[in-house]
Each structure stands twice: as structure tokens, then as C-alpha cells.
Chains A and B, each alone.
Chain A
Amino acid sequence: MALISFDNVSKRYPSGQEALSNVSFTLREGEMAFLTGHSGAGKSTLLRMIMLMERPSQGQLVVGDQNLSRLPRRELPYHRRRIGVVFQNHQLLFDRSVFDNVVLPLQICGYDTEDASRRVRAALNKVGLLDKERLNPISLSSGEQQRVGIARAIVHKPQVLLADEPTGNLDPQLSEEIMKLFQQFNRVGTTVLIASHDLGLIERMRHRTLVLRNGRLIADGRG
């Protein structure tokens, strides 16, 4: 069953610049794929469209059973709750502890405090940061911060996990560990789409790879 489906999607900015042109592909439920290409090829734009941070100028984009071009503004939060996102710049909040950062999606969804605590600890355990839950994320290394971001993205068990350059600033060994984490989540059924320009790493992972160049999808196959 297709979970994410792009059908001739284009994105043109008012300046005339075309970030994506006629992109079509589908990602099945439970699939894991990489999205690659030079910087400015449209990787981030594509992920941002799935998050509905941007709307297509043309074409159909369906996530689950929801056609995003017809999604009213008030439904937007409920759409985003189905998606976990890992950002390149982490997007952590430095006015609160690691625990409070990770618990945020659960609070938003209306989880019970005790239940939420249990799930936060499970998520932190999975990324190996259980002993740092009380620290402020600002005191953590970049790799640790990235893992806090991952814990926050998966704590509410979203259907889809998106990651934008999750290994951007990390050394090769850390990058590999992070990718292994994503594989683990995929193994329990989460659909994963990772934008990355780390071609060596992508090749070693042996997953489906979508290649963008100048906003066009030029290759789609096994890495």
C-alpha cells in the first residue's frame, strides 16, 4: 500500500525558480529509501512538502489517504502528528531538559504523564541517551543532540520518519550508528525517507535511492 505518493509534483517559487519539476514516485508502507542529489537539487523542498511546510504548485501529493492539496489548515497539525522529522539543525529547545524536549510530541497528542514518561525513557534508551535525560541539550555533543532529535521524532511512533541530512555534521562512525538506528525503526514497520548527500554511506546501506538533479527525479533504484 502506497503511503507517500508524488504524482507530477512541481514547485515553483514566485521568483520563477523551479525547485521541483514533475516529480513522481511512491513510497510503500514500511519501506525505507534515501533521497540524494547535489545541494540545491530539491531534497529539502521535497521533504518540506510532505510536512506541508510548502504546498505543491502543481500535481498531486498524497500521504496515507490524505490528498495534501485539499488539506484544510486546521487539519494540518493532525497530519504532522503522523510524521516524525529529524532536522539537520536538530531544532531542539535549549530552555528545557532532554526529557522535556522528547516528551513534547506526546504532550501535544494528549498522553497521560506516566505513560508519556515511560515512552520517553524507551525512546531515549533506544538512542542510548537514557542517562542524560535531565541534562540540557546544549551541554551535549552534536551527535548526542542529533540523537535527542531522533528520539523526539520517533517517541510517538509516527507512521513516517523523515530525516533531512541527519548525519550532516557527524564523523563517519557516528553517521553509521545513526543510520543503523533508522534501519531499526524501519524494521519494526516505520516508513523511512532520508535526505542525504553522503553517497558512500548510502551505498553501504543498500536501500532504495531516489536521485534528484535540478529538481528532477533522474534515478530511482537500489543503491
Chain B
Amino acid sequence: MAADNRSARPERRDSAAPGRRGAEQHRIALRDRNRNWRRHHLLVARQSWARLFATPLPTLITLAVLAIALALPGFLLTGLANLQRLSDGWDHEPRISLYLRADLDDEAADRFSRSLLLRDDLSSVELVSRTQGLVEFREMSGFGNIVDLLDENPLPAVILVQPASSGITELPLLRARLQELAEVDEAVLDMEWLQRLNAFVLLAERTVLVLGLLLALAVLLVVGNTIRLAIESRRDEIVVVKLIGGTDAWVRRPFLYTGVWYGLLGAVLAWCLIQFSLLLLSEPVSELARLYSSDFEPSGLGVAGALLLLGCSLLLGWLGAWLAVGHHMREIEPS
């Protein structure tokens, strides 16, 4: 009977013995065993789920702790992603502003800007003539009246150039070369604050990573401790199951499912916490963005973020349970 396997193996050996006397032995075909194995998994999963809610209050408290520990890094990561999105919008267009010497007239400025167009280290050149600059200043600053009081236009002509390459090391060199030109009074690279922002984002990323790892450890310990208590309360059952031939995997299974359920429910609760917090923040953020005349809209966790949260949470739940069971199961032996 080729379909026999493990549990039926001893019986198979005996049934091969000639003239054998004894009780009819059970054989289970492999196909049936696989089906029964799947059914058993479903049963254990259902029972573990039901067990969670047999003691609703302790379960709820554990879940709340898990949700908070999971939500905090999730929330911070979402904030960070928003910050990065905000800075990315500017990051791609580093510009150098060339303030021309004040004694250069509009015609000379125009000639100079045309000559810049021929350079292959610049990808675009935009001249803001003195008159144009004055008009824009009048419109944007609200100091129009003061400007009218002045005899002559105090603003220099400005050429905004976009470097062909935006490498972090090449930009200062290009700025220095442009500064050397006779027509240029001052060349300013609009980048320092961006570098600072990037450094800040990097620091925040690291902080969130460290915090996330610590909180992941907390989740592991919380699940592990909860499972340890569950194992303790089912000690008799484990002893009996081991005595009647339950494998380690069999003993482990309900606890692993419990860990996975904790992971799942913890992730769902954490997602709710994150979305709720973002909802509370979205109005002030939009208001702030409006004040900066930006149409920035804060984004939520998103599908990828939610899946990442779920995946991490399930993994931590399973791992916490696995570590706890592995550690305690060898101690519990029939005696």
C-alpha cells in the first residue's frame, strides 16, 4: 500500500508479517491524510480564534499594546514619507541664480544670457531683466508703494540657470565657475537648505528605524509572554497529547495560530489608529500648506504601507509564538 505514510508506517510493517494475529489496524491513505491535515489546520485556526475571545478583556489589552507598538512606527514612517514627497518636489531642479552687476544694462544682460545658452554645462537659462524683476517684486511683495518712491530701479538683473547635471559635488564647482564670469556679481546655489532638509530626513529615517526595531522587539516580547501564559494554562493538555503520540508540530500548532491571530488583529487595530491620527492631522496640514500657497495633500499609509504593516505584524506574531513555544515545549514532558 504505497499511499501509506508516517503514522501508518508501523502498521504497514506489521501487516506485512505473515500469520499475524491482532486487532485490525487502521490505514489512512496519503490523499485522505493531506485533506484531513488541511481540515485540522482549519479547525485549529478556528479554535485558536475562539480561545482569544474566551477571555475578551486580557486579549483586548494585549491587542491594544500590540496596536500601539505597531502604530507608532507606522505613523512616523507615514509622516516621513510625506516629508520626503514634499522635498522630492524640489529636489530635482537645483538652480543657480546669477545676480548680474548693477551697471549692466538690459541689452548687455540679454547678450550675456544668450552667451550662457551656448554653454553645455547649463540646460536652461532664464533672464529676469531689471524692469521685469521690478514688476514681479511689486506684485509679489506688496511693497509696491515703497518702490514707487525710489528714483531708480534698485534691483539687478538676474539669470536663473539650470545645471545640466545635478550631482551634489558638481553643483558647487559650477557655481564657482559662474561666479568667475565678469558680468556676474554673485552666483547663489539654491541648495543649502535642501541639503539640510535631506540631512534632517536622513536623521529622522534612522530614528524611526531604531524606534521601529525597538518596538518590534516589544511586540515580540508581548506576544511571547502571552503565548507563554497560554502554554502554562494548557500544560495538562500538552502532556496528554505528547503521551498519546502528538508530534512537536502538533503541540506547537495552536500556539502559532494564536500568535498569527494576534499579529493580524494587532495590524488591523494599528491601521485604524494610524488612519485616525492622520485624519486628525490632515486639516492642520492642509491649512499649513495653504498658507505656503502649496497644493500639498498629506497621503495616508496607502496599500503598500498597509500590506507592509500587516506582513511585519503577522511575522512578529508568528515569530513571538514560535520562540515562546520552542522554549517552553521541551520543558513540558510527561513524567
Residues of A whose CB lies within 8 Å of any CB of B are 1, 29-30, 51, 53, 64-66, 74, 77-82, 85, 91-93, 95, 104-105, 107-113, 152, 156-157, 159, 185, 188-191
Contacts and interface: CB of A to CB of B under 8 A. Distances in A.
Given A66-B10, A78-B6, 9 more contacts: A1-B20, A77-B248, A78-B7, A80-B242, A81-B244, A95-B237, A104-B244, A112-B36, A157-B26
Interface size class of B (residues with CB under 8 A): 35 or more
A191 B248 CA distance: 27
B39 interface: yes
A77 B334 CA distance: 12
A115 to B, nearest CB: 9
Contacts of B247: 74, 77, 108
B225 to A, nearest CB: 22
A109 B245 contact: yes
B21 interface: yes
28 contacts: A29-B22, A30-B22, A74-B248, A77-B246, A77-B247, A77-B250, A78-B7, A80-B244, A81-B7, A81-B244, A82-B11, A85-B243, A91-B239, A91-B240, A93-B236, A104-B244, A107-B40, A109-B7, A110-B40, A111-B28, A111-B36, A112-B28, A157-B23, A157-B26, A159-B14, A188-B22, A189-B23, A190-B22
Contact of B28 (A53, A110, A113, A185): A110
B13 A64 contact: yes
B243 A109 contact: no
Most chain A beta carbons < 10 A, residue from B14, B241, B245: B245
B115 interface: no
Contacts of B28: 109-112
Contacts of A77: 242, 245-248, 250
B17 interface: yes
Contacts of A64: 10, 13-14
Nearest to B239: A91
Give the interface SS of chain B, mostly helix, strand, loop or mixed: helix
Interface of B: 6-7, 9-11, 13-14, 17, 20-26, 28, 32-33, 35-37, 39-40, 236-237, 239-248, 250, 333-335
Given A64-B13, A93-B237, A109-B7, A80 B23 contact: no
A152 B244 contact: yes
A182 B11 CA distance: 21
A104 B245 CA distance: 10
Contacts, number: 106
Nearest to A73: B248
Contacts of B32: 110, 112
Contacts of A82: 10-11
Contacts of A30: 21-22
Contact of B245 (A93, A95, A108): A108
A29 B243 CA distance: 22
A76 B121 CA distance: 76
Contacts of A93: 236-237, 240
Nearest to B10: A82
A104 B244 CA distance: 8
Contacts of A66: 10
For B22, B32, B335, the residue with the greatest tally of chain A CB atoms inside 10 Å of its CB is: B22
Nearest to A186: B23
B20 A29 contact: yes
Given A91-B240, A93-B237, A108-B241, A157 B246 contact: no
A208 B240 CA distance: 30
Nearest to A51: B243
Contact of B335 (A53, A105, A190): A53
A81 B10 contact: yes
A109 B6 CA distance: 9
The CB with the most chain B CB atoms within 10 A, among A53, A64, A109, is that of A109
Given A29-B21, A110-B7, A80 B37 contact: no
A175 B32 CA distance: 40
A81 B12 CA distance: 13
B88 to A, nearest CB: 54
A105 B244 contact: yes
Contacts of B239: 91
B250 to A, nearest CB: 6
